[in-house]
Chain A
Amino acid sequence: NAGVMQNPRHLVRRRGQEARLRCSPMKGHSHVYWYRQLPEEGLKFMVYLQKENIIDESGMPKERFSAEFPKEGPSILRIQQVVRGDSAAYFCASSPGVRGTEAFFGQGTRLTVV
């Protein structure tokens, strides 16, 4: 059983470009969470999605950031018009149900904005 798959592992974008990060949850998992880890900081919750629904986006910046989890395909975290401050590791986690304690994390996408 493959784990949570994130791609790309590394992404370099110039300021003003768009970044698209993809996350395929573990088989049988229908709940996806995105977290951001800035240098020297712990993980910060961004958004919680189920198929075709955003459940909690309280951690998402109000502008430039969006997330989706379509009926088919991976979850996408999209960052428009990236700035240097968006440089971070972005982690996706998935779980089989409502119990977040059973969330398994992917290896992350490291975004560098130059």
Chain B
Amino acid sequence: QKEVEQDPGPLSVPEGAIVSLNCTYSNSAFQYFMWYRQYSRKGPELLMYTYSSGNKEDGRFTAQVDKSSKYISLFIRDSQPSDSATYLCAMRGTAGGTSYGKLTFGQGTILTVHP
């Protein structure tokens, strides 16, 4: 069983739709949760990160973490064609020891927003 599970999609939505992307995980030690966006043939770009449980909002993006369920989500409101990319969830444990440099990624969800 993978430590982080993410539905690879692909997910296709019309412009203006609300997009929900999700990951589940099994390692209770994960404390920091991130979402990266990766355009084709490019490097991952950090979109949002959240420490422990709770919500965080940045413009059209909202990240949610539910540690009790080991479930994280990214919501995109008013989706645009420029949001078409692969979205990767990532997580890690707390700082200390040798774990802080190591991110565990989900497989990535391919999102297409069509006009």
Asked if B104 lies at the interface with its beta carbon under 8 angstroms from chain A, I say yes
How big is chain A's contact interface, by range? 20 to 34
Known contacts A41-B107, A43-B44, A107-B43; decide if A59 and B102 are in contact (CB<8 Å).
yes
A-B pairs under 8 A by CB, number: 72
In the complex, 15 of the A-B residue pairs with CB atoms within 8 angstroms, ordered by the A residue number, are A31-B101, A40-B107, A41-B107, A42-B6, A42-B107, A43-B103, A48-B98, A55-B101, A56-B101, A98-B101, A99-B100, A100-B102, A101-B92, A105-B43, A107-B42
Within the complex, which residue of A41, A48, A58, A105 is in contact with B45, where a contact is CB–CB below 8 Å? A105
The complex places the Cα of A52 from the Cα of B44 at a distance, in Å, of 26
Question: Does the CB pair A43–B42 fall under 8 Å?
Answer: no
How big is chain B's contact interface, by range? 20 to 34
Asked if A25 lies at the interface with its beta carbon under 8 angstroms from chain B, I say no
Chain A residues whose CB sits within 8 angstroms of the CB of B108 once the complex forms: 42
The complex places the Cα of A31 from the Cα of B98 at a distance, in Å, of 12
Question: Which parts of A90-104 form the interface with B (CB within 8 Å)?
Answer: 91, 95, 98-104
Chain B residues whose CB sits within 8 angstroms of the CB of A91 once the complex forms: 43-44
Chain A residues whose CB sits within 8 angstroms of the CB of B6 once the complex forms: 42
Chain A residues whose CB sits within 8 angstroms of the CB of B32 once the complex forms: 100-101
Question: Does the CB pair B46–A103 fall under 8 Å?
Answer: yes
Question: Which parts of A51-86 form the interface with B (CB within 8 Å)?
Answer: 55-56, 58-59
The complex places the Cα of A100 from the Cα of B105 at a distance, in Å, of 13
